[in-house]
Structure 1
Amino acid sequence: MASIARSLRPAAARLTVRSPAPWRASSFGARAFSVSRAAAAAQAKMYTKDHEWVELSADKKTATIGISDYAAHALGDVVYVELPTVPLEVSAGDAIGAVESVKSASDINSPISCTVTAVNSMLEETPSTINKGPEDDSSAGGWVAKVEVAEAGVKDVEALMDAEAYKAFTEE
């Protein structure tokens, strides 16, 4: 099965980039807070070139994994999600599941080395949840797996793209 990135190439040309909401303009006089790059990376979603995301907890011991909003929209209506078994120890880039849509089928790869400790079983019953909120890590969201992260996984996160770099990557 192809990775999400390979499955999306034909669809990528049809996607449009949303413009930012007009209310986000800096004219409100809001003051930006300074955060160290390491602290921001530890709590922000990081993305792979295969369109998966990972959000590392503040203590860097756990994380949540899913597919990106870009991937979910490009795939179209998701009709089936194969979830990983628990527990499952994987390295960065290993397949942990699959997603099938009306357009294509793709592997879901782990962005980091980790151990899968929980899965979003709601996706088996209602696969379309992944379309509604692919980057939502709440109980009603489209996240795929919760994982435990060791030192190797924390290092893997450093090689991933932040939201700004990922947006630029998807616009290429």
Structure 2
Amino acid sequence: MRSLNRVTFVTFVTFVTLCTLALLLPAPAAARDSLGMFSTWGAFRDPAVPRCYALAMAEPSTKQRDYQPYAAIGTWPRREVRGQVHLRLSRKLAPASRIVLTVGRERFELTGGGGDAWAVDRRMDAAIVAAMRSASAMTVSARDAKGGGFSNTWPLTGAATAMDAASIGCVQQR
């Protein structure tokens, strides 16, 4: 029973955090629809764009952060883009920093700048999404603007369901 209470609390905190993040985004955020919460992952639809995405906050940390880190897997049906990986990192990146995402046993070298990282192409997006479906966690590591190393970790429980809900949520959004 204690474990259930902790899971319920973590789910509640994640939901509140995601809702807060949605409120902090630009004005069109008000048009976003929640498609559901799946463990620590949420699925959302923004019919004004249109776009749909699965979103999760990184695990909490007591270390210094420049940004609130999150992972988003997005779909833009009018652009014919599906499963695009975007990571908001906790720190500003050093110029030309090597950004490595580890998903289960697979490693991907991402591209990025500022506090953001992406797959280098659609093929890598697809490989990352496939790896996320069978792994329990993913961790990104890089060097920050001050030269120190840092990492952010996301549990992947619920990620596959949230990604599927986001994809289904955009089927009729063309």
- Please indicate, yes or no, whether the TM-score normalized by the shorter chain is above 0.5: no
Higher strand share: 2
